Structures are given as structure tokens and as C-alpha cells.
Chain A
Amino acid sequence: MLSIKLFNVTTIAYFGAMLAFISYLVIRNRTVALVANICCYVGFALHTAAIGMRWYESYQILGGDGRAPLSNLYESVVFFAWTILLIYILIDLKYRQRAIGAFVLPFAFFGMIWGQLYLSDAIDPLVPALQSNWLTYHVITCFLGYAAFAVACGVSIMYLIKARKGRDDGEDRDDGGVLALFPSTRVLDDINYKAIMIGFPLLSLGIITGAAWANYAWGTYWSWDPKETWSLIVWFVYAAFLHARFTRGWVGRKAAWLSVFGFAATIFCYLGVNLVLSGLHSYGGG
């Protein structure tokens, strides 16, 4: 399948981007950052083409039963990486802070490498329960939300590195070294907040489309299934984060930690529930 080859090249492009971003932090040469970003954009274009190709291939293999490539663990990991790049590129276009790439690209790269090396890339037909347009709406909204949280987490880690204890007064100082390349703590905090502001409504939509689908498929919009419950846990954490912005004592480092915890919960919601707990979303079992 051509799509698999394209995904492989995409993975290599992201690897290159990740290495270049890390080199940029070390040698602080703007050309290296530019190379990293070119790798990102080229990789993203290939990635988009690969997803389209896999969609097309599903029709070649399954005939009329072809479907959007969003149904098994492999396809979801690959799509997750794509959404991370999408959100990264949006942030890059707005803020032009290349150092962020070093903290965001690894999420996309490790997702891709895991998918390419360890997950089954077979295109199987869908069981009846998954034959619904709600699948597409549900997966797209959820993963865009997850990706925004991934970016927020990467930025929060940068914040925590830059604003080590006793230095989180929001003042910019000449840090020297690697930290000089980081955006100011104020900007990092702002990106963290903005990314979560994008992710939160998307996660809400993802939960709602999932509930609507469940109601349409079997008459219960909410059944406290582990996956559902974890998505709600993630929602609670980010709702707490958004409220934390308005109160003293919960900004800065605490907000950054909440963002990191939120993403850990997100990853558990996405993978942990499938691999560790049992429930409806069983695509991780394979």
C-alpha cells in the first residue's frame, strides 16, 4: 500500500524536524530552526496525502465498504499525530516561536513511530456499530481537542523549565543558554491558555458527539463506561484549569502543572483505558 510508504516518509520527516529543533536549542542557529520547520510543513503535507491515500485505498480493498481512516488504533494514532502537527502549525503561524517545536514534535514523532512499528495497519471492514457518520465527527473533534492539549502540555513543560521555583514572577530576564530561545514565561503561559481554550470546546464537542452517537446506536447517551468517564475526568481537569486562570495562587506554575496532568489524563483516556481497562472502545485490544 502506497499510504504506508507515505506514512514512513512522514515519520522520517518528523524525526528530522525533531532532531533539528533539538539541535536548534543547542547550537542556536536560526537556519537550523528554519530547516526544522520546513521538515514539519513537508511532513504535514505528506501526512495529509497519506491519510487521503489510505482513505482511497480502503475503497480499493473493501469496495463499497470503504471508510474514513479513523477506526482502529493504528489509524487513530496516525490521525492524532496529524492533528498535533495541525495545531503546532497554527501556533507557529501566530507566534513564530520555533523553540516550541522541540517540545511538541516528539509527541507526534513517537505516535508515528509506535504506529509504524508496533500496530497493525490492515484495512479491515467496520463492524455494524461503527458504521455511522457520528464516528467521523466524534473522532475528529476528540483528536483535535487532544492535540491542542498536547501542545499545551509541551508549552507547559517549557514554562516549568523556564520558571523554576522562585522565578515565576512573569519578569523576563536574560537567562542565557537554551532558555534564551524559549518564549517569555508570559507568552508560554498565554499559549498554554489559548491552546486549552481551543481544546476545551473541541473536547466538549467530542464528548457530545460521542454521547449523541451512543444514544442513536443503543439508546443511552451516558453509561459511565471507563472511556466516557475518563473523558469526563479530562474535562473536569481542564475546566478546573480555565477557572484557575481567574484566581490568584493558581496561575503560573500551578496552571502549568494542571496542564501537564490534564494531558497525562488525556493520554490515559486515549490509550490507557483501551490497554488497561475494559469497555466499549476496544480498538486497543488488538
Chain B
Amino acid sequence: MTNKQDQSFLEIIWDFFCSLKLAITTLILLALTSIIGTVVQQGKPAQEYIQEYGERVYRVFVALDFVDMYHSWWFLTLLNIFAINLICCSIKRLPRILKLVKHPVLTPDEKHYRRFANRDEFTVPVAVDRAGDRLAVFMRKHFAAPVVTARDGRTHLFAQKMAWARFGVYVVHLSILIIFAGAIIGSVWGYKAYVNIAEGTSTDKVWPRDSQNPIAIGFEVRCDNFEVTYYPGTRRPKEFTSDLVVLEGGREVLKKTIEVNDPLSYRGLTFYQSSYGPAGEPVFKLTVTERSSGRKLKFEAQRGEHIALPDGSSFAVSDYTDSYKSFGPAIQMHLNDKTGKHGNAFVVFQRFPEFDAQRGGAYSFAVDSFEQQFYTGLQVAKDPGVWVVWTGCFLLVAGCFSAFFLSHRRIWLTIEPAGDGSLVRVAGNAHRNQPAFEIFFEDFKSRLKEELTGRQTPESSPLPAVEANT
């Protein structure tokens, strides 16, 4: 069995983990250490650190885990202390609060009344039991239904409102633990990956960020089409969208056009539109007009490919853009004469098919279309803990609001015989927002006196009835 010294040692540990000082210290330490990770970039390749800070500093950083500090043993230890502190201080305080709410003092004595700032006592010319009945009705009407206890010739009334507001702070503490749990679930059973899918192709694998080995996702995702639109006259993307199809065993089961801020979810995986890029070379479709005959010829060309024309010369597309200044899509091309001599480059606009005729020469060119195939870049996330995290977040906010803005209010009344009438004691207490409660209590008291001093006020009389002549 444990001896006395062990006992006190355990108690010291327990008190240490329950203490408010530990909570404040941990919060401030977490704040201070978190700064490191915002100054030193996290999770970069070694060369980048060496380049910026030098070899020696880099080795110190690695030794102290500064390059991945949010996963370091010491930061996780701090978070653990934070969590243990939350649990311990809640365990320590919760029973007391539960007792206070569940087993309020129902038969208070004089000493109990003296503890409150909001209190009063006065005598009324009404017998105890009659006063008790009337006050029970009164309390229900003006505050909350009371618990009535008669003992030793005295009648005690007790009523409370929003007792559960006392638990707001524990809801906040619990919510933080729930958020931690959600984050742990996500990091153990979830992953973050990415995949690039060229238009018209599909994939059944994704590539995790921190590993070379792809993960099989158990179904196929196909990209039917990718599109990017720009704000008029600029290169600022307005929107990029991918038409995605989910296939199970070759059968289409789900179709969705995704865009940034509107992902596709299927079987616990979510696909987010995150980037895009060109896939392969575009194919240019051109109409060439022979000036002498007016004959129109159709060609398909790829960049750099020389295509022969009827008179023995040839042309080639050397470059393209889907936005040339404000004129829209355009290609750059040149002609080689019969001897193969390279001519000057010129620009042909897709939107202005007549434009090239002004250049002169044996042939004029118009761009019918050029199709650039794209790949769509998708982020893939699996996070089974995310709903746990949102539950925690909801509780956090709800707990904060109830802890800060709702108040547990209690009122006690005791009536005892005094001479011909009764002595009434009343006291009230609020655990938040004292000034507002003070005003309420003053009002409550004056109505109470009015109720008992015989002057029967009609139900609808506007209160508080302050004497005009005082």
C-alpha cells in the first residue's frame, strides 16, 4: 500500500495538473513557441535551409525540430500538457458545479442570506402559509417556478434560471478535446494526396504528398473536359472547372463539374480543383486561301511542323497564345519559300479571319481552331475526423457564448412568523453580469413588497411601481 509520502507526491502531481497557473503558462508557452514555425519555413528540402541559414544553423534547427516543429516531440508534449490540464481541472471543478446546480440550498438560514450582496428583509402583515402560497405564484410569474420547502414553521422558496450556463466553460474545454480527437482521427486514418488527370483519361490512383507510392482508391475518376475562363482582356483566371466522372467497375456512377470552392466527394474521398496545365501539344486547324484562285485549303498542323503548300513553299506554326493582348487567341507562324528560305514571322488572330489577307503574298491564313488539351490538377483528401472537428468547433462557439453571455440566476425567499405577520428574507445571485441582475433584483423586490403589503395590483399593472412622491 502507498505510504503517506507517495500520497502527497501524487497529490502534488494532481494539483500541478489542475492548476490555473499551469493553464496560463501553457497557453503562453504555446503562443510563444508557435511563432518559431511562422518565422522558419516548415517542411522544406534541406538545401533551402542551408542556402538561407548556412550548414551549422541548419543542424541546430534539425536537432531542435524547428523545420517541422508542429510535429516535434516538445510541441506535442506541450499540447499534451494542455489537454491533461483541461481534463484534470474539469474533473476537479465539475462535481462542485454539479452539486451547486443539482442540490441547491433549499432551506437557507440567516447566515446564508448574509453572504449575498443582493438581499433584503422586511416584515409584512400576512400569515406565513398565506404568504408562502402567494409568493410561490408570484415567483413563478416573475422569475421561475420555485421549490417550496416548509420546515420548523418557516417556508422556503428557491428558484433558478439557466443553471446550465454554468457548464458553458466545461463545454468549451470538452470541445477542445473533441477537436484534438478529430485531428488525431484525421491524421491516423486519413491522408492528403494529389493527382493530375489529362482530359479524356482516368485514374484509380492518387499520390500522397509525403511518399512515392501511389494509393489505390478503389474506383476510377475520369476527366471528360477541363475549361479555364479569364476575366475579359486579362490573364486573370475567373474560373476553372473540370467535368469529372466516377466509375465503379467501368460503370458511371457519379458525374459532377467541379470548380475551386466546389469539390466532388465520393466514398469518403474529396477531389478539389487546385491547378491545371497543358497536356501535350495543341493541334491547329487552319484555312489557307490561295490568292490567285480564291481556293480554300484546310490543314491541321502541330507546332514546328512544316506543311507544304501547292506552289512548293511551306508554312509552320511557331508559337501560340490563347490571349494576345486584347485580341484573343492567336498563333505566330512563318512561310518558307521554294528554296526553303525562312520568311518573317507574322501573327494570325482566330477572331479576325480576314485580317491576314492584308499582309499580301500568295496565301492568306485563318485559324479555325486550336485545341489545347489540359490536365486538371486535383487535391485529394480523406479525412474521417473532419465531422468530429466541426462538432468540436460548434460546441466551442456555443460554449463560449453560454459561458460569457448567459448567467445562472438564483433567488431564495424565506418566510417566518414574526409578531402578527411574517418576516420575509430574500436574496439573489447571478454568476455573470451583476449590474443587470442588480437592476432586476431591485425591481423584483419592489414588486414583492407590493404583493405582500396588501395593495392588490391588477395583473396588467405596469411595473415597477415606484412611488411618485418619494
Contact = CB atoms under 8 A, between A and B. Distances in A.
A233 B34 contact: yes
B39 A239 contact: no
Contacts of A146: none
A243 B397 contact: no
Given A128-B238, A128-B240, A220 B192 contact: yes
Q: Using C-beta atoms within 8 Å of the partner chain, give the interface range for chain B.
A: 35 or more
B238 A65 contact: yes
A237 B28 contact: yes
A205 B404 CA distance: 14
Contacts of A219: 192, 263, 270, 272, 379-381, 383
B400 interface: yes
A211 B393 contact: yes
Contacts of B260: 128-129, 131, 217
Given A221-B386, A233-B31, A125 B231 contact: yes
Contact of A236 (B31, B42, B238): B31
A229 interface: yes
B183 A222 contact: yes
A216 B396 contact: no
* A125, A218, A222, most chain B CB atoms within 10 A: A218
Question: Interface residues of B: mostly helix, strand, loop or mixed?
Answer: helix
Interface in B237-281: 237-240, 259-261, 263, 270, 272, 274
A97 interface: no
A168 B421 CA distance: 49
Given A197-B404, A219-B272, A224-B37, A204 B396 contact: yes
Nearest to B265: A219
A9 B27 CA distance: 43
A243 B24 contact: yes
Contacts of B274: 218
Contacts of B401: 201
Given A65-B238, A219-B383, A233-B35, A224 B27 contact: no
Contacts of B380: 219
Contacts of B263: 216, 219
B393 A208 contact: yes
Given A125-B238, A230-B38, A243 B381 contact: no
A240 B27 contact: yes
10 contacts: A127-B237, A131-B239, A131-B261, A134-B261, A197-B404, A218-B274, A220-B381, A229-B34, A229-B38, A240-B24
Interface of A: 65, 124-125, 127-129, 131-132, 134, 197-198, 200-201, 204-205, 208, 211-212, 215-222, 224, 226, 229-230, 232-233, 236-237, 239-240, 243-244, 246-247, 250, 265, 273, 277-278
Given A197-B404, A229-B38, 11 more contacts: A128-B239, A129-B260, A205-B397, A208-B393, A215-B386, A216-B261, A219-B380, A233-B31, A233-B34, A236-B31, A247-B20
